[in-house]
Amino acid sequence: MTVKTGILKELLNSIVKDHIEVVDLAQVLNENTPVIQLPEPNANTGGFKFKQLSKYNETGQDCYWNDFVAGEHVGTHFDAPIHWVTGKDNDSVDQIPMKNMIGEAYVIDIREKAKQNPDYCLTVEDIRAFESQYGQIKSHSWVLIHSGWSEHIQDHKQFYNIGEDGWSHTPGITKEAAIFLVEERDILGAGVETVGTDAGMAASFDPPLPCHHYFLGANKYGLAQLTNLDKLPPTGSVLVVNPLKIENGSGSPVRVIALVEKN
Ligand code: MN
């Protein structure tokens, strides 16, 4: 079948000719992939496990393949609204309208603030400062929090950053900013570089895990453990999110890509 409309033809040509770059925002999945640890008495998800079935050998002369075991929330992954109690009547991952998996990305840089204070959480003031520079965040878009945390992915000590107080000290989003993005900007969801969408200390917030609480409660989405956000412009790239269609699933590992127009 040939491409019928001019728009898609132009898109395809631009990708083939590298006028549009396709940026991979996913971290590699392996047995070293960090996994979120919820405090007691929560059950925790296991990590990614790989088991080779055959590799052109006695169990399969012609065939290389593996089984893997992984939680829904392992590595770069998608949080479906049903993941949180506030969204218990909202969509599971197989019910998500796929139209919502494509949207403009707004990338808010909090790297300096997170460097000064690993517990730093995005504020409404940060969003307003971003908007005064780049324009108001539109509905049907993704907001990505560029904390720089993906740099620590190989070093679990730094990635979890557990303090002497036993808390993980990693950046996130304030309750007020979550409410603002949901109610005032009607975005699709928020994406982060850390192990989960909320700050490391967010279990101590009121309500606990505000990003989960407000976004998923409003039938919106989360993306965790993104990387390569430094390759995206602050506005104007297009995110494509492809979670697995797990029946009644609460989330899924995901290969997020961004389409970025080159100058
Ligand atoms: Mn999750």
Peptide bond connecting 41 to the previous residue in cis, omega within 30 degrees of 0: yes
CA 142 – ligand 1 centroid, Å: 16
Marked catalytic residue, from 73, 77, 83, 213: 83
Distances (CA, A) of 81 to 34, 118, 221: 22, 27, 6
Distance (Å, whole) CA 112 – CA 97:
36
Total number of domains constituting the chain: 1
pLDDT tens per residue, range 139-186: 999 999 999 999 999 999 999 999 999 999 999 999 999 999 999 999
Question: pLDDT digits over 90-138, tens only?
Answer: 999 999 999 999 999 999 999 999 999 999 999 999 999 999 999 999 9
Structural domain boundaries enclosing 199: 18-31+71-261
Predicted confidence at residue 164, as pLDDT, reads: 96
CA of 197 to the centre of ligand 1 (A): 7
Q: What is the pLDDT of residue 263?
A: 78
How close is the Cα of 117 to the center of ligand 1, in Å?
A: 23
> Which band of pLDDT confidence, cut at 50, 70 and 90, is reported for residue 3?
low
Whether 160 is covered by a domain: the verdict is yes
59 occurs within a structural domain? no
pLDDT at 38: 81
Q: Is 6 a member of any domain? A: no
Higher per-residue pLDDT: 82 or 40: 82
Tokens of 197: 């969408």
Token pair for 254: 């995901």
| 74 DSSP assignment | B
Instruction: Please give the mean pLDDT across all residues of the chain.
Output: 96
> Does residue 100 form part of some domain?
yes
Confidence of residue 4 (pLDDT cuts 50, 70, 90): low
Residue 116 lies in a domain: yes
For residue 129, being part of any structural domain is answered with yes
| Annotated catalytic residue 77 | no
Percent of the chain's residues with pLDDT above 70: 98
Whether residue 8 is contained in a domain is answered as no
State the distance from the centre of ligand 1 to the C-alpha of 221, rounded, in angstroms. 10
Is the model's pLDDT at 242 over the cut of 80?
yes
Give DSSP secondary structure letters for 178-218. HHIIIIIT--SEEE-SSSSSS-TTGGGSSSSSHHIIIIIHT
CATH number, position 108: 3.50.30.50
For the record, the structure tokens of 135 come out as 């324009």
Ligand 1 centre distance from Cα of residue 128 (Å)? 27
122: CA distance to ligand 1 center in Å?
Answer: 19
Asked if residue 241 is part of any domain, the answer here is yes
pLDDT value for 40: 81
| pLDDT exceeds cutoff 70 at 193 | yes
Using an 8 Å Cβ cutoff, are 253 and 261 in contact?
no
Residue ranges in the chain assigned as alpha helix (H): 6-16, 111-116, 124-134, 156-160, 175-179, 210-211, 217
pLDDT score at 37: 83
